[in-house]
Amino acid sequence: MRKIAVIVTGCYLVLATSAVLYELSIRIYDRGNSEFAGMLSVALTFPASLAVILLGKTAFGVNVGDSDASFVTILGLAILTNACGVWFLIAALSRRK
């Protein structure tokens, strides 16, 4: 079961990171048409993205779209939070059996 946890978590990390990098490239190279950049990344990191976005807004006064650095940092933290959650969920399910 440990291999399954590594494979699933690794695939999630690759998918979510590639989505963030793709949308970052849209934000950098096509600013005029980047009004929806970030929606795919937020959808892929949904449970953690809401918490991290809310924490960033209330504690630090930073929004996701304020700058490219905040975009990558906030969504990167959401990716890592979800990856840890997936890892622990698979580990807990494998121990129950």
Q: What is the model's pLDDT at position 21?
A: 93
Determine what percent of the chain is predicted with pLDDT higher than 90.
37
Please state, in angstroms and rounded to a whole number, the distance separating the CA atoms of residues 43 and 49: 8
Scan for tokens 């190279």, then name that residue. Answer: 29
Q: What is the pLDDT of residues 13-41, one digit of tens each?
A: 999 999 999 999 988 998 888 778 888 88
Using alpha carbons only, give the angle 83, 19, 58 rounded to the nearest 5 degrees.
65
User: Do 31 and 72 touch, CB atoms closer than 8 A?
Assistant: no
Query: Taking the domains of the chain in order of start, what are their residue ranges?
Result: 2-96
